[in-house]
Structure 1
Amino acid sequence: MENYQGQLDGIFQALADPTRRAVLSRLGAGPASISELAKPFAMALPSFMKHIHLLEGSGLILTRKQGRVRTCAIEKNQFALVEKWLSAQHAIWEGRTDRLEQFVTAQQREDQK
């Protein structure tokens, strides 16, 4: 379970930055080269590469080098971890709101007596 939490920490850290989220959005359309991904951003390539390394380190993307071109692609398995965690949180909050609704309804019935 601790490894799972550590993975989530890295994923959410990667998702916390708007540049990295924009890269992931672009990769949602399909694989792209580093230079193609870097074009929309006004930053030096070494700075942009820090974002790529963090995304790769968190497992959200995979990179592969072919000749002189490094291509990035989304790694869907890590998104499944996030979805699993968010679903569990959703179930917890849904249960809490259901219990609150039951409590309020019971209180209203008591007040009407």
Structure 2
Amino acid sequence: MTKYQLAPMFFALSDPTRFAVVERLCRGGASVSELQRPFKMATPTFLRHLQILEEAGLVHSEKNGRVRTVALRGKSLVAVEKWAAHLRREAEARLDRLEDYIKTKED
């Protein structure tokens, strides 16, 4: 997964409501009404938040009768984690080089 494919995920997670929904889904799937309960917003507005999360590949939903259940797509978060780990390794390598440079100047 490229960094450009991650951009929609970061956009989706940049909103506090959507971020909170993803945090809640880490504990397991839930119905739309259960997910919406803590938020004071109209159903169409909340459904748009879920649509953005789904388009970003962070969640998926399925309808069973009259109930739509939403669940987290764990693999999408693995992609974000790998990207962040890559950035961390690069930053640590730069800091290690800076430390080595400073040590040579001190001697």
TM-score range, shorter chain: over 0.9
The higher radius of gyration belongs to: 1
The match for 2:89 is 91
Post-superposition offset of 1:80: 1.0
- Count of residue pairs brought into register by the alignment: 107
Cα deviation code 1:39-96 (max 9, x no counterpart): 0001000000110000000110010000010000000111111011111101110110
* Alignment pair present for 1:10 and 2:1: no
- TM-score where L is the length of structure 2: 0.96
Q: Structure 1: which 5+ runs fail to align?
A: none
The match for 1:76 is 74
Query: What is the alpha-carbon root mean square deviation over aligned residues?
Result: 1.0
Q: Structure 2: which 5+ runs fail to align?
A: none
**Residue pair 2:3, 2:83 contacting (<8 A) in 1 also:** no
Question: Following the alignment from structure 1 to structure 2, what is the Cα–Cα distance between the partners of residues 11 and 62?
Answer: 13
The match for 2:62 is 64
What is the identity percentage for the equivalent residue pairs of Structure 1 and Structure 2? 45
